[in-house]
Structure 1
């Protein structure tokens, strides 16, 4: 049995009388530790001493656009200022891990992701990463030379301003009973959240990864090699880095700006090394609800800027109407929908975007779930047709467009739910894992990746 958030008790009494497993919200990992024969470096430590109150931060990204609204014309300057704002800390995390101390630098993690309930992995031990997408098909990146499918692994940190919200949700009960209310889930202005994404394909499989940062992970899920029953230390490669900021002044329609960086081997390393090769892919601050990109594919996007100088592979998986979505984010999917009475099957349909996905972050306290999935789908968890196609509303239809509205972070997508202010880690990961751990019932969303595919159970010991 894997040692995750369920402990193992040994006692000389009948099995039926054994003590109940103890749920541990602040587990560092899923209990599977790499043997010294494979790895002897530092291990991930969950940062969860969430601050209760933090002074309002400086916001140099606002200075970059003269404290006006972000636009297609000034989004590049805004994005570069946002990158610079986290640039004093992120190079240490990414490239000097032995000296990374998240708590000392004021960065924090969501609880419960060390949980694995013996099945679905949870945080691995070396870097605390978990599966983002179980498998991305090589055909999505054929133009950039990918020859095998890939799995992606992700790691999210909240700065001290954002971590106040983690304090409001989790700290009163030591992580055991979340306070999910219309006020507790809301982030303060200037909150920063970052996410690193690594892939299982090295330069021998995907040439665009030549020269990027390599992280060893203790994992089983690996679409590139076919994975394994037991975890092993495996090299993964830095592909993408996301930064989002709560900025209602610059982006009043949603309150947030999303920005994605991707690795570009053709950019020369500067004084910050590989960090200087992480190029802005684009920025998004709204869902452009006025642009029905199915009815009019040429409709301009007014709340989205894609960098024409970014490497081509970065934009290979842009979302609906070329709305921003990075290669890790699963904005192109095989979908099934009814066109009148006839079922249509479409491979690699553009059906999401950064903000579209995160705008579904909500929690219904009566049903203990997210009513709508991350991608346009007729149910949550999604139904799958013909073994691989997500059953979706027809593209461009009124039901489809529910995923592409501009809602502020305190407005839920579905009535009866509490909006999670775009925090997908809370709604899609932490709360389902909390429910599983504390009720003994596996939550319906446990084990799904970002694209609505259920990951196969893995042994973890």
Structure 2
């Protein structure tokens, strides 16, 4: 343990070494006598790299992405990272992230388990979310994120002056063309409680929160199954309205495994490159979407978590939540309401440099301006389809913040929802309001 003295007062705040060290690999908790591989933070960010080849652009002839050419775009994007993903997933003990050109966020050591660097994403996914695919018990999801060399340059611009004083100038937070982020998501549910996970790749991890076993107290070595992989690319040529294409892949037990192993069984659920702001899916439920493509051949369970109006949202993306909102003179409580999507969530990435204790002026999904708690434990929401609700479903470029007075985070939600709150807590001695919350806005059981 170490003591940090904050300039905000004379009080001394006790923080863990991992929380205070921006370059800590992980939380340091391992099984007794463990001699296996551990997670090594990759943080020596490169700079001044030339623009990379972008075969996903070529796959659609240099045209904007659409619901018609999205399958070819997504296939090319998947192929571009296939070799690295195969080696990471099947031989992670020998996979050196920095040598392979992949990097991680700093400041999250206290949140990462020690073997794979996984952190809790959603504390508890209820069985009611999957009524058609026989999920017998709730589950917890864990994720780890990697940035390619091009994307890592932005991390370097933000942190390389000093990890203690991030450079949040609007130009520094914007990613270069060809930046790729890959996020792996694992579930605590195995095939015995969810048949959809039959044959899924398993990683052993030192985790505590586990909604499937209901034993969140002490870290222990547990097997987690690969559920979802998100591959996100900065590509303003293909997606000029937002600058980004989000592709989601999900595990399909019926897919054929080839030379890339389990990567071949990760099939596209779909892609999203805009929020379809002209489509109010509450007022016109049948209106077609033009900025989300959903693969009709994806496994059945993945369709159960699509977001508002069928916008792209995977099983790890909290696209459906229990919400509370005022309708007329009464308050309505709706379970598993579709209330977000990949881009609408990440579009809230922003940071208020004048008020870092607040950080993000708007939550990552529609939240009513007045958090009265009247619908607790439901999420207090604007009325679906209302003008306040639609703030989350606008198309903005990454340098345009959702709220005035903030700096746009260029769709990097890890930066503004996880990393900057951890930095603020470690350097100020004050716990940030966003710490301890999962992506659904609920407190994570520790």
Instruction: Give the structure-2-normalised TM-score.
Output: 0.95
The 1:304–1:383 alpha-carbon spacing in structure 2 relative to 1, beyond 3 Å, is farther
Partner of 1:269: helix, strand, or coil?
coil
1:378 has 2:373 as partner: no
2:27 aligns to what?
Answer: 30
Q: Do the aligned residues in 2 keep the contact of 1:373 with 1:379 (CA within 8 Å)?
A: no
Q: Do the aligned residues in 1 keep the contact of 2:319 with 2:338 (CA within 8 Å)?
A: yes
Q: CA deviation at 1:17?
A: 9.3
1:68 has 2:63 as partner: yes
The 1:203–1:8 alpha-carbon spacing in structure 2 relative to 1, beyond 3 Å, is farther
2:161 aligns to what?
Answer: 172
1:29-428 matched pairs, under 5 angstroms? 29-36=26-33, 39-115=34-110, 122-173=111-162, 175-368=163-356, 369-379=359-369, 384-428=373-417
Q: CA deviation at 1:41?
A: 1.7
Partner of 1:321: helix, strand, or coil?
helix
Q: Do the aligned residues in 2 keep the contact of 1:320 with 1:352 (CA within 8 Å)?
A: yes
Q: Do the aligned residues in 2 keep the contact of 1:124 with 1:219 (CA within 8 Å)?
A: yes
1:41-92: CA deviations, max 9, x gaps? 2000000000122111000000000001000000000000000011120111
When structure 1 is superposed on structure 2, of 25-34 and 420-429 the one drifting more is: 25-34
Q: CA deviation at 1:40?
A: 3.2
Q: How many residues align?
A: 436
The 1:266–1:24 alpha-carbon spacing in structure 2 relative to 1, beyond 3 Å, is same
Structure 2: distance between partners of 1:303 and 1:436: 38
The 1:378–1:273 alpha-carbon spacing in structure 2 relative to 1, beyond 3 Å, is same
Listed as ranges, the gaps of 5+ residues in structure 2 are 5-10
Q: CA deviation at 1:385?
A: 4.2
Q: Do the aligned residues in 1 keep the contact of 2:3 with 2:12 (CA within 8 Å)?
A: no
Q: Do the aligned residues in 2 keep the contact of 1:156 with 1:195 (CA within 8 Å)?
A: yes
Partner of 1:88: helix, strand, or coil?
helix
1:112-132: CA deviations, max 9, x gaps? 1113xxxxxx10001001000
Q: CA deviation at 1:33?
A: 2.4
Partner of 2:404: helix, strand, or coil?
coil
Instruction: Give the structure-1-normalised TM-score.
Output: 0.92
Structure 2: distance between partners of 1:17 and 1:332: 41
